[in-house]
Structure 1
Amino acid sequence: MKAIVHDVYGPPDVMRLEEIDRPEPGPGEVLVRVRAAGVDPGVWHLMAGMPYAIRAAGFGLRAPKDRVRGLDVAGEVAAVGPGVTRFRTGDEVYGNAEGSFAEYARAKEGRLAPKPANLSFEEAAAVPVSGCTALKAVRDGGPLGAGRSVLVLGASGGVGSFAVQLAKNLGAHVTGVCSAGKADLVRSLGADEAVDYARADPTDGSRRHDLVLDAAGNRSLTALRRSLTADGTLVIIGGEGGGRWIGGNDRQLRAMLLSPFLRQRLRALAATVHHRDLLILTELIEAGSLRPAVDRTYPLAEVPDAVRHLREGRARGKLVVGVA
């Protein structure tokens, strides 16, 4: 089968299209014939091996243990391993897989769900990692509803575009922060306000919010807390920038250490995909209450270009790789 592989850490150019053996599903695993795969920041971190803590976490100190990148997947079940009960050959599924930048990928049964009937494979591939992360972020923020205020930093990105919609569906007043060129997208997703971060500082303390979701990853804890109400909740999603060793995750660590001593709640969130969360997202999508914002679809051979596009911050929503 064809797959995007890399044998060393580095920039997008280390990835190349190659013919490799098709994987076989093990116990509790599903083999997916990939029709589309999503591109998210986790792909870059694993490709670059940055920050170094990623390598120490078991992904390979000197070289990547797994040669094929890609997490988000949408496709058809090609085979099932022993013990799989939810799926059978031919089912259309979406979720999280090991190495989805390939014609076939293995996935744990608990990280897949039936594909939303009203989405294409390309649209479905944009949902799992970002959608599940946004869902957990909004849930961690406590009860939302009319009269509650939510600030989404990075509102035009993958996680942010879902978070805007989820918070608005719960009745909150949503302010999305993005660049001027993406304000129309953020408003179309339901945001009551779209703030251009180049013209105004949304964390200057002039307005306070019950929930702040930071999916942009570069503001200080002091600034983020300044935009919270006295008993508000901050959820930090991932982390960019920072040093080579732990990168932007230092803010998450400091937030968790500081939170027990404050009225404000400071939360750190890592991206995880689970069957039950995918089912919640599917219900919302099929009801017309949630939609993925897909910027562009790249062919498999152009994965390096897709990763570059993402890192340059030009994406409006999600980038997708069409495979089959």
Structure 2
Amino acid sequence: MKAILSAEQGAVIGELPQPQVMQNHVVIKVKAAALNRADLQMLTGGSHGFAGGIGFPVGVEWAGEIIALGEGVYQWEVGDRVMGASPGAFAEYTLGNAEWIYPIPDHMSFEQAATLPVGLQTIHDAIVSQGLLQEGQTVLVQGASSGIGLMAMQIAKFLGAKQVIGTSTSIDKLNRLSEFGADVVINTKDEDWAKQILKATKRKGVDLVIDFLAGPLFEHTLSVTKIGGTIINVGRMAGETGTIDFDQHSMRRITYKGVSFRTRSSDEITDVIDKARKSLTQALDSHQIKIPVDATYPFENFDEAFTKMKTNKHFGKIVLSF
């Protein structure tokens, strides 16, 4: 089968054996796959969790059709349309853990479905299991114009957040955040962005922050989180290091958590995905969660797709079609 393989000078299209079905797994004919920032480091042999290395198939997010069932798989049938997140997504066929995949709603295209799995499980875990969102609370999404940021705002709204605040540094993207659940939008390039958030919350601060930025913005993020509030770090797009005022953190009694999947056991990941699937299926079926497809490229034009991603000018997800 054809696959996009990592190489020292950049990814190339190569040939690999089609994956063989395993116990508790299914083989999927991939129809579409979405790009994620984690893929960028894998193009030249970097790793993401246990996956990666020179010659390894790139990609972690796919949508397709089941063509074979392993022993012990009873919840799926050959021909089912499914989506999921697993290594080797940028290939004609991939292997999926039967407990780690989602059904694709009838109304949804493979291209749309490919944009969803990583966000569904990551954000449900961040907001519900780690963030302990309660109905009527206020949620701040730092870096809301990314694909997973758009997902966070919609899931927060679906699960009962009273007010959702979304931030970005792009005026064009800020103007679209209300389409995806934002009640208030803030430009973090503004010197007084923290004051704007406090004004929007009547100086109470937000109950829960879903933070994709971290870096030098974190100090101000602490200041807009209410006393006893929670910050969940999902990404570090603004930087992996920064200054922390430990006194402010302590005095405000703020809970700060990370949610990486790379240090979780297989059983823990199964539990996260099961909870997301049960909680969010209704939202998917009723079109309450959607990620815009910014651009779709044929599988062979993956270089163009990654070039577009590196410019950071896309809104939503970039997808490869097979």
Q: TM-score range by the shorter chain?
A: 0.7 to 0.9
Does structure 2 conserve the Cα–Cα contact (< 8 Å) formed by 1:36 and 1:321? yes
Against the structure 1 CA distance between its residues 259 and 81, is the aligned structure 2 distance closer, same or farther, given a 3 Å change threshold? farther
Specify the alignment match of 1:213 in structure 2. 210
Q: Which amino acid is 1:189 matched to?
A: F
Against the structure 1 CA distance between its residues 87 and 261, is the aligned structure 2 distance closer, same or farther, given a 3 Å change threshold? farther
Cα separation, 1, equivalents of 2:206 and 2:155: 16
Cα separation, 2, equivalents of 1:74 and 1:279: 19
Q: Which runs of 4+ in 1 moved over 6 A?
A: 258-262
Secondary structure, aligned partner of 2:126: helix
Against the structure 1 CA distance between its residues 259 and 322, is the aligned structure 2 distance closer, same or farther, given a 3 Å change threshold? farther
Does structure 2 conserve the Cα–Cα contact (< 8 Å) formed by 1:115 and 1:282? no
**For 2:86, which of 97, 106, 114 is the aligned residue?**
97
Q: Does residue 200 of structure 2 align to residue 199 of structure 1?
A: no
Q: How many residues align?
A: 303
Specify the alignment match of 2:227 in structure 1. 230
Against the structure 1 CA distance between its residues 122 and 204, is the aligned structure 2 distance closer, same or farther, given a 3 Å change threshold? same
Cα separation, 2, equivalents of 1:320 and 1:26: 28
Written as runs of structure 1 = structure 2, the 5 A alignment for 1:102-181 is 102-139=91-128, 140-146=130-136, 148-169=137-158, 170-178=160-168, 179-181=170-172
Against the structure 1 CA distance between its residues 259 and 34, is the aligned structure 2 distance closer, same or farther, given a 3 Å change threshold? farther
Q: Which amino acid is 1:18 matched to?
A: G
Against the structure 1 CA distance between its residues 175 and 200, is the aligned structure 2 distance closer, same or farther, given a 3 Å change threshold? farther
Specify the alignment match of 1:3 in structure 2. 3
Deviation, 1:113, is 2.0
Secondary structure, aligned partner of 1:102: coil
After superposition, give the CA deviation of every residue in 1:139-196 in whole Å (9 maximum; x if it has no partner). 12223333x2211111111211011111122132111111101123211112111222
Does structure 2 conserve the Cα–Cα contact (< 8 Å) formed by 1:25 and 1:106? yes
After superposition, give the CA deviation of every residue in 1:109-138 in whole Å (9 maximum; x if it has no partner). 111121122211110110000222122222
Secondary structure, aligned partner of 1:110: coil
Specify the alignment match of 1:37 in structure 2. 33
**For 1:265, which of 238, 243, 255 is the aligned residue?**
255
Cα separation, 2, equivalents of 1:228 and 1:216: 15
TM-score, reference length from structure 2: 0.84
Moved more, 216-225 or 103-112: 216-225
Deviation, 1:286, is 0.6
Q: Which amino acid is 1:26 matched to?
A: M
TM-score, reference length from structure 1: 0.84
Query: Structure 1: 5+ residue runs without aligned partners?
Result: 243-247
Cα separation, 2, equivalents of 1:17 and 1:65: 13
Deviation, 1:288, is 2.8
Deviation, 1:259, is 7.7
- What is the identity percentage for the equivalent residue pairs of Structure 1 and Structure 2? 27
Specify the alignment match of 2:71 in structure 1. 82
Cα separation, 1, equivalents of 2:252 and 2:161: 27
Specify the alignment match of 2:266 in structure 1. none
Cα separation, 2, equivalents of 1:314 and 1:306: 12
Specify the alignment match of 2:181 in structure 1. 190
Cα separation, 2, equivalents of 1:216 and 1:149: 19
Secondary structure, aligned partner of 1:136: helix
Secondary structure, aligned partner of 2:75: coil
RMSD: 2.8
Deviation, 1:94, is 0.8
Specify the alignment match of 1:287 in structure 2. 286
Query: Structure 2: 5+ residue runs without aligned partners?
Result: 199-204, 262-268
Moved more, 204-213 or 118-127: 204-213
Q: Which amino acid is 1:198 matched to?
A: K
Deviation, 1:45, is 3.1
Does structure 2 conserve the Cα–Cα contact (< 8 Å) formed by 1:113 and 1:275? no
Against the structure 1 CA distance between its residues 275 and 104, is the aligned structure 2 distance closer, same or farther, given a 3 Å change threshold? farther
After superposition, give the CA deviation of every residue in 1:187-225 in whole Å (9 maximum; x if it has no partner). 111211122222355335861211111113434432221
Does structure 2 conserve the Cα–Cα contact (< 8 Å) formed by 1:202 and 1:227? no
Cα separation, 2, equivalents of 1:77 and 1:162: 26
Secondary structure, aligned partner of 2:90: coil
Against the structure 1 CA distance between its residues 38 and 201, is the aligned structure 2 distance closer, same or farther, given a 3 Å change threshold? farther
Specify the alignment match of 1:67 in structure 2. 56
Against the structure 1 CA distance between its residues 81 and 313, is the aligned structure 2 distance closer, same or farther, given a 3 Å change threshold? same
Does structure 2 conserve the Cα–Cα contact (< 8 Å) formed by 1:210 and 1:228? yes
Q: Which amino acid is 2:306 matched to?
A: V
